[in-house]
């Protein structure tokens, strides 16, 4: 492990477009996750996460992680499914879905699972991915750059859901549109767990992604809905659904 590795110490750390507090949030990094430090402009780090996405992280959200600490404190590598934890110093923190919990941290409330057990609870199957999307993100508000049920955008929602099921995806919708195999241009024919891609640009650049639920339904995190929504594509009297259908470009299949 590089000496330039950092570990996130807050529940959620914003990843910004520029090295200033007022800059746009482009993504997030979660507690216990590691990032590679690429550049230092104290107190800001330009970092890269495991998904290859880069941005600026303030020093207050992370600290250096040694190889020894990685091996001794994160050997089990438990993943939060939404829980409250107490660390070795007695501090209590509420963690969203996806955080990595140190081995010497006690779970007070909620649920976590060992990284090694994720595949059993979250299999690589379209129906299982769709179920996680519907159940774990229900009532989530839309937040540009967000990746958790505390607030997410469309591609952050998709990346997190598929990641739980062992399928790594890039961060942005236009990048995710290159993953998997072609699943056609008939939205109603999409299988459960297929990704559906949309564009509101004249040149067809992908700007939105959703997860197909089958039976002419989808689930997504949409700005136009304020966040989480299950849509029935048969609801043609709904102006939003009508506009969404008109922006559909194609589907992709990952499982």
Same domain, residue pair 228 and 132: yes
Last residue of a domain, one of 116, 137, 171: 116
Whether 220 is catalytic is: yes
Residue among 83, 161, 165, 208 flagged as catalytic: 208
Same domain, residue pair 99 and 165: no
Q: If you ran DSSP here, which 8-state letter would residue 24 be given?
A: P
- pLDDT digit string, tens, across residues 29-70: 999 999 999 999 999 999 999 999 999 999 999 999 998 988
Residue among 83, 154, 161, 165 flagged as catalytic: 154
Same domain, residue pair 199 and 136: yes
CATH label of the domain that carries residue 32: 2.30.30.40
Residue among 45, 161, 165, 220 flagged as catalytic: 220
Same domain, residue pair 90 and 61: no
Question: What residues have CB less than 8 Å from 184, skipping those under 6 apart?
Answer: 190, 250, 251
Q: Which domain holds residue 192?
A: 122-253
CA distance 88 to 106: 8
pLDDT of residue 236: 86
Statement: residue 1 has pLDDT above 60: no
Q: pTM value?
A: 0.96
Whether 154 is catalytic is: yes
Same domain, residue pair 167 and 200: yes
Statement: residue 149 has pLDDT above 90: yes
CATH label of the domain that carries residue 148: 3.90.1720.10
Statement: residue 162 has pLDDT above 60: yes
- pLDDT digit string, tens, across residues 78-125: 999 999 999 989 999 999 999 999 999 999 999 999 999 999 999 999
**Considering its fold, how many domains does the chain have in total?**
3
CA distance 97 to 115: 13
pLDDT of residue 55: 98
Instruction: Quickly count: other Cβ atoms within 10 Å of residue 54's Cβ.
Output: 19
Q: What is the DSSP string of 76-139?
A: S-EEEEEEEEE-TTS-EEEE-TT-EE-TT-EEEEEEEEEGGGHHHHS-S-HHHHHHHHHHHSTT
Statement: residue 77 has pLDDT above 90: no
Same domain, residue pair 247 and 126: yes
Parallel, antiparallel, or unpaired: how do β-strands 100-101 and 78-86 relate? antiparallel
Q: How confident is the model at residue 139 (pLDDT cuts 50, 70, 90)?
A: very high
* Burial state string for 198-231 with b = 16 or more CB within 10 A and e = fewer than 16: bbeeeeeebbbbbbbbbeebbbbbbeeeebbbeb
Same domain, residue pair 161 and 97: no
Same domain, residue pair 55 and 145: no
pLDDT of residue 3: 52
- pLDDT digit string, tens, across residues 179-234: 999 999 999 999 999 999 999 999 999 999 999 999 999 999 999 999 999 999 99
Same domain, residue pair 127 and 101: no
Same domain, residue pair 53 and 96: no
Same domain, residue pair 51 and 154: no
129-141 mean pLDDT: 98
Statement: residue 2 has pLDDT above 50: no
Same domain, residue pair 90 and 211: no
């Amino acid at each position: 492990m590089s000496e330039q590795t950092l570990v996130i110490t807050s529940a959620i750390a914003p990843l910004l477009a520029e090295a200033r507090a007022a800059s746009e949030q482009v993504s997030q990094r979660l507690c216990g996750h590691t990032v590679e430090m690429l550049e230092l402009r104290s107190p800001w780090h330009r970092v890269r996460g495991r998904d290859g996405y880069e941005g600026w992280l303030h020093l207050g959200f992370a600290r250096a992680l040694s190889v020894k600490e990685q091996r001794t404190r994160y050997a089990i590598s438990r993943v939060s499914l939404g829980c409250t934890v107490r660390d070795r110093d007695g501090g209590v923190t509420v963690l969203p879905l996806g955080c990595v919990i140190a081995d010497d941290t006690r779970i007070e409330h909620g649920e976590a699972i060992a990284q090694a057990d994720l595949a059993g609870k979250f299999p690589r199957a379209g129906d299982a991915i769709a179920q996680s999307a519907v159940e774990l993100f229900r009532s989530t508000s839309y937040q540009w750059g967000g990746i958790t049920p505390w607030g997410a955008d469309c591609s952050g929602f998709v990346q997190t859901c598929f990641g739980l099921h062992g399928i790594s995806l890039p961060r942005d919708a236009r990048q995710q549109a290159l993953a998997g195999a072609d699943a056609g241009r008939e939205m109603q024919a999409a299988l459960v767990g297929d990704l559906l891609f949309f564009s509101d640009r004249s040149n067809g650049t992908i700007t939105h992604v959703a997860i197909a639920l089958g039976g002419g339904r989808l689930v997504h995190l949409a700005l136009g809905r304020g966040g989480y929504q299950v849509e029935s594509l048969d609801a043609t009297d709904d102006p939003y659904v009508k506009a969404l259908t008109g922006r559909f470009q194609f589907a992709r299949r990952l499982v």
